[in-house]
Structure 1
Amino acid sequence: AGLTSSEAKARLEKYGYNELVVKKQGPLIRFLLQFHNALLYVLMAAVLICLFLGKFMDMYVVIGVILATVVIGFIQEGKAEASLEALKKMLVPECTVLRDNEKKIIATRETVPGDVVLLEGGDRVPADLRLFSVKNLSADEAALTGESVPVDKDVDPILKPDLSPGQQRCLCFNGTFITRGRGQGVVVGTGKQTEIGKIAGMMEETKKVTPPIVKKIADFIKLIIITCISFGIINFILGTVLGYDIGYMLLATAGMIVAMIPEGLAAAIIAAFAVGAMHMARRNALIRRLPAAETLGCTTVICSDKTGTLTKNEMTVVRIYCGGRDYQVSGVGYEPSGEFSQGNNPVQIDKGLIETLTAGYLCNNATLVKEEEGYNIKGDPTEGALIVSAAKAGITKSSPRLDEIPFESEQQYMATLHRGETGNIIYVKGSPEGVLRMCQSQLTDGGIEPLRSEAILERADGMARDALRLLGMAYKRVDKGKT
């Protein structure tokens, strides 16, 4: 039945809205903090001395160096200021819950602990949920755990404490994506009490550590200050001993100290940091604090738990074997552009290749969508790769689906029934071994021929040795009365 409206309102007042409150510095504060730099302190002292001596041209030059340094740092850090905001974008705006014994669509920020949330393939999880009912439910948790493969969910209780999120199969986590199936769960965490919320809290509470290059610059500045002041004192004492006027020696000493200050050093260092940061930005690595560019350059070892942590979790079809031929597919990610080739030579798409791509396109529950940032997939990444490969061949027309056998780990295949022009068509995709067991023939350029299972499995083994994920495709034409 779910919560009543009055109980949900009371819990909302108790636990607060289901949202991430991100503390961030305003542009003015971020700009002013750029002046908090030991090298700039020396330059600002030089500005005051130049003003005192009446050397306005030198003063303007030093001010220009200071402003250029501050502006470069402000712009570069502003590009990475949205790191926490990116976590907020993972939250879905609306979700479906049971309240007052009715199915309702509410704003995600209004979900509270105890709400019963309904999940379907394509939904983004609105809060941390304890599942109590599932049907072939899988979730893409790459954004949270780095797992590139969707995780099958169940309702079995957790038997061990302190398990990582990826091992808690009876839970769905805020911001993750349901790739297939259906399920229901009770909200057990909202806002900062979710796993995503804990990550946001860790990012806010991270202790500030002084980068090695900043420590070296600070030591160098101390050396410059001590050297300039020491030479100034020596110069003043010698001039006084030699009989020069004290007032004259004060001006001469101040002028010498200003001349010894390396005005261009700050701009040179910041420019070097900015160039390094821009090179990394071209590789999609944003540097929030410019000195971090040098710190990363000093890194000798980077430890990572798995490949999915460092990749974009986008699957791409790169090779196809059908009709006794091997095809390579160009293009990466979900951009539906690329060509089919054999060796290095582009080829025309034959009937066997078209049927293979069509099977992957129709026996599929994913959707290719175009967003502001580019193309994206709603659904399972592997199914998304099949959609994109078909789109590269111009296959974008859907056929009415009459029925479906969803994928289950026990049977290792998925099947869909579609209405054709002269009859209905069954499309199947699954493990190569499982699909081959259902087949008696194969489609080639010469037409339908007896199935050569051994040759197909041998080629599949070769692809598997190249670390490729494999899927088999098949189809069968049936009468219109077949359902």
Structure 2
Amino acid sequence: MDGNANDSILGKKNYEQPEITDSEQNMDWRLSEKELAHKYHTNCQTGLSEEDAKKRLTKNGRNELTTKKQSKFVQFIKQFNNSIIYILAAAAVMTFFMHRYSDSIVIGLVIIANAIIGYVQEQQAGNALEKIREMLISKNFVIRNGKKLEMDARDIVVGDLVDLEAGDAVPADMRLISADNLNVQESILTGETAPVSKVEQALSQTKLPLGQRLNMVYASTAVSSGSGLGIVVSTADATEIGQIQDSVETVKEKPTPLMRNLNSLGFGLSVAIVVTAIALFIIGLFLDTYSLPTLLIAVITMVVGSMPEGLPASTSVVLAMGTRKMTKQNVIVKFLPAVETLGAVDIVNTDKTGTLTKNEMTVKRIVTPNNSFTVTGVGYDSDGNINFDGELELSDEKYDWQQDESMKWLVEIAGQTTDAQLHFENNKWELTGEPTDGSLTTLYRKMTGKDPEVHEIDSLPFDSAFRYSARLVDF
């Protein structure tokens, strides 16, 4: 699209982004590059201007999902939503009117202490989760005014031109205008574990399931390989993941097994106590042994004495102890009764990658036409040796691999073709890119003590159909 035409649009003093209906929004896969640029008032070569991006950010807000937060007062009041608490509250009121103020105060303190324990725990868990969310905020490369800038994903706006590389988190819903062997992991949205190969061409279909929109990428997904360029079409709550979150938040919270059991216990006690009190009162009237005021006091005393006033507090203390123990194992418990639910689990069905395994790969063996070698070390740490597997016992010495010409070329080629980047964060090596590439980069570092120096002329990213990648370098 002509750059001057775009500049004239952006230069209007009273510029307002046009309203986009859901039907139009959902068919961006049908539009050509020129139509996309016109619709979102952007330039497919130079991106938005900083001035226009600031206007859009001010108007539409930051690119982050909003969460429905309850006020602290409501969170505190929720701690009293328990049938046993209701019984204890009734007991506190009755003992007060019986002028047994000490009992009334003790019961009241138990009720308040129980609420404070639950409230404090939930607040601490909420604060910890908020800090984790801050740590997980991604950064992306965005083209503005023709310059490639790295910025906080929260500052990306509709119409921005975002550059995607292997390992990037997709910051918003985007329509691709360029895709170079781009593969995106969309399992969080579609449930399909295999990466999806993306294209840049417009699609003709008017209705397409999310998983078949091959020229679209969505917030919360991740680039597994290749590269691409896309125009942001939705941010924040308007994204696909934002709409999913909104629907999830409307689902009513189900009580945990512990909450159901305590509610059942409270209801059963209430019925038993009330029935017993009525029966004793009727029997007392029939026997006519005591005066009416004395009989009422006796019945109320029985009711108060039957109340398990220590149960809520002791339950909260035990759950809090379990929560503290789990915190030491790096588990954050947001909802106190959930501790008991986890303790009642017999079988856990979990995904393997990243859960039972670390999603890391390590080269353990190298075979050349003439020799065989064992590689020591774990993960992406470059500490490790290359040991000869032949008759020589060199397990305690670092093998001079440059003696083997085949080995030398193998390692150089591995270092020149990998796209992985390793960086040391939080006392461990973190990978940007594919685990296979990460293992080759680590091997190169083990054998040379440095990162690969690649002077790329051209490249072909890995293609699952041909099962190889290639790179032309100035070597």
Q: If the TM-score is normalised by the length of the shorter chain, which range does it land in?
A: 0.5 to 0.7
Q: Which residue of 2 aligns with 1:350?
A: 399
Q: Which residue of 2 aligns with 1:408?
A: 462
Q: 1:276 to 1:170 in 2, by over 3 A?
A: farther
Shift of 1:348: 4.8
Shift of 1:181: 3.7
Q: Which residue of 2 aligns with 1:469?
A: none
Q: 1:56 to 1:375 in 2, by over 3 A?
A: farther
Q: Is the 8 A contact 2:420 2:437 kept in 1?
A: yes
Identity across the alignment (%):
27
Q: Which residue of 2 aligns with 1:246?
A: 292
Residue 313 of structure 2, aligned match among 241, 263, 267 = 267
Which amino acid letter does the alignment assign opposite residue 142 of structure 2? T
Shift of 1:215: 3.3
Q: Which moved more, 1:26-35 or 1:369-378?
A: 369-378
Q: After superposition, where does 1:441-480 map in structure 2 within 5 Å? A: none
Q: Which residue of 2 aligns with 1:138?
A: 183
Q: After superposition, where does 1:316-465 map in structure 2 within 5 Å? A: 316-317=361-362, 319-322=364-367, 323-327=371-375, 329-330=377-378, 348-352=397-401, 363-371=417-425, 375-387=429-441, 397-403=450-456, 405-409=459-463, 410=466, 412-414=468-470
Q: Is the 8 A contact 2:386 2:447 kept in 1?
A: no
Residue 95 of structure 2, aligned match among 50, 73, 83 = 50
1:295-321: CA deviations, max 9, x gaps? 5566677777x6458568732327434
1:62-121: CA deviations, max 9, x gaps? 34433443233224433553768867866546641356xx34647755655444433344
* Partner SS, residue 401 of structure 1: coil
Q: 1:203 to 1:350 in 2, by over 3 A?
A: farther
Q: 1:202 to 1:385 in 2, by over 3 A?
A: farther
Q: Which residue of 1 aligns with 2:16?
A: 10
Residue 27 of structure 1, aligned match among 72, 78, 90 = 72
Q: Is the 8 A contact 2:142 2:160 kept in 1?
A: no
Q: Which moved more, 1:43-52 or 1:154-163?
A: 154-163
The structure carrying a bigger strand percent of its residues is: 1
Residue 129 of structure 1, aligned match among 174, 177, 201 = 174
Give the distance between the partners of 1:97 and 1:22, measured in 2 at CA: 29
1:112-154: CA deviations, max 9, x gaps? 5444433344544332112121223334546555666654432
1:158-196: CA deviations, max 9, x gaps? 57745344x543222224344554322222322222122
1:367-417: CA deviations, max 9, x gaps? 3334459653333343335556777x5975235333364533236144586
Which amino acid letter does the alignment assign opposite residue 324 of structure 1? S
Q: Is the 8 A contact 1:335 1:388 kept in 2?
A: yes
TM-score (norm 2): 0.68
- Aligned alpha-carbon RMSD (Å): 4.5
- Structure 1: any 5+ residue segments left out of the alignment? 418-481
Q: 1:215 to 1:177 in 2, by over 3 A?
A: closer
1:284-339: CA deviations, max 9, x gaps? 654433344455566677777x6458568732327434552445644x6x677889
Shift of 1:216: 3.5
Q: Is the 8 A contact 1:366 1:383 kept in 2?
A: yes
1:200 correspondence with 2:245: yes
TM-score (norm 1): 0.67
Q: Is the 8 A contact 1:145 1:309 kept in 2?
A: no
- Structure 2: any 5+ residue segments left out of the alignment? 18-55, 389-394
Q: Which residue of 2 aligns with 1:189?
A: 234
Shift of 1:50: 3.3
Shift of 1:222: 1.8
